[in-house]
Amino acid sequence: MGILDLITRQRNRFSEDLNSDRRYWSLSAITLSYYYIISPIIEKYVHGITLDAGAGRLNGKMLLEGLFTEYVSMDIDNINGKMQLVGDIQDMSAISDNSFDTVYSAQVLEHVQRPWDGLSEVYRVLKPGGCAIISVPLFNGLHSEPYDFYRFTPYGLRYLMAQAGFEIRCEAVAGGLFAFLEHIISLLFITIFWPIPCVRWLAYYFNKFIFVHPVILLDKLTRSERKFPACIVVVGQKP
């Protein structure tokens, strides 16, 4: 097993261990910046029957808790045996038209060959008046290879969502240039120590307060997210 495979394996273990714990979002400056940005957006737009499209290890579910009346998870793989639907966001033909009040899809469209088809399908399964909360990376290393196809600018994602029929309601960016660089450091640091029970939490809090929070502050002071956003969030509403 190579070092990159080992890092990926330990990163996945971290995600599994904290899949219902909000401390998950303090892994790096990117993930914590995303948490700060996405939380008020979710609070404003999530309601009713909610589809988590590309739910992965269900880390996003904790953000949605208390806001939906029914939660449905879907992913192309049933990674941990907890997925309610197994399917491809590009073809959700098993789901009827106008089925959901909200669709949340985080860091998914970069992994599909036809993201425009994915957005068209999200539009189809939403009820009129329902909202899609879509987040995608701009600055990110290769991951989930070989299924890593795209990076998006705010203009590109907004265009694709408008082409699918959405009316844009909200747009935000999370993380900047320094968060992108710091993410690699935090990922290495946490994945080295996470398997060691007596050390993992010391490493976690050291990482959070020595690396993560200072870098978030640095990005804010330099406003680097304006030109170097790590993550893009756009909310579209079906008329």
Cβ pair 212, 185 in contact under 8 A? no
Instruction: Indicate whether 3 pLDDT > 80.
Output: no
pLDDT of the residue at 5: 74
C-alpha dihedral sign at 218, 220, 225, 226: negative
Confidence label for 235 from pLDDT (cuts 50, 70 and 90) = very high
pLDDT in tens, 89-106: 999 999 999 999 999 999
Q: Quote the percentage of the chain above a pLDDT of 90.
A: 85
Instruction: Indicate whether 10 pLDDT > 90.
Output: no
pLDDT of the residue at 140: 86
Fold exhibited by the domain 3-237 = Rossmann fold (3.40.50)
pLDDT of the residue at 143: 82
pTM: 0.94
pLDDT in tens, 156-190: 999 999 999 999 999 999 999 999 999 999 999 99
Q: What does the alpha-carbon distance between residue 164 and residue 124 come to, in Å, rounded to a whole number?
A: 9
CA distances 239 to 126, 161, 162, 167, 195, Å, are 10, 13, 11, 7, 48
Tell me what the pLDDT averaged over the chain comes to: 94
pLDDT of the residue at 4: 67
pLDDT in tens, 64-91: 999 999 999 999 999 888 899 999 999 9
Q: Which range among 4-13, 119-128, 134-143 shows the weakest confidence by mean pLDDT?
A: 4-13
Question: If you average pLDDT over residues 203-210, what whole number do you get?
Answer: 97
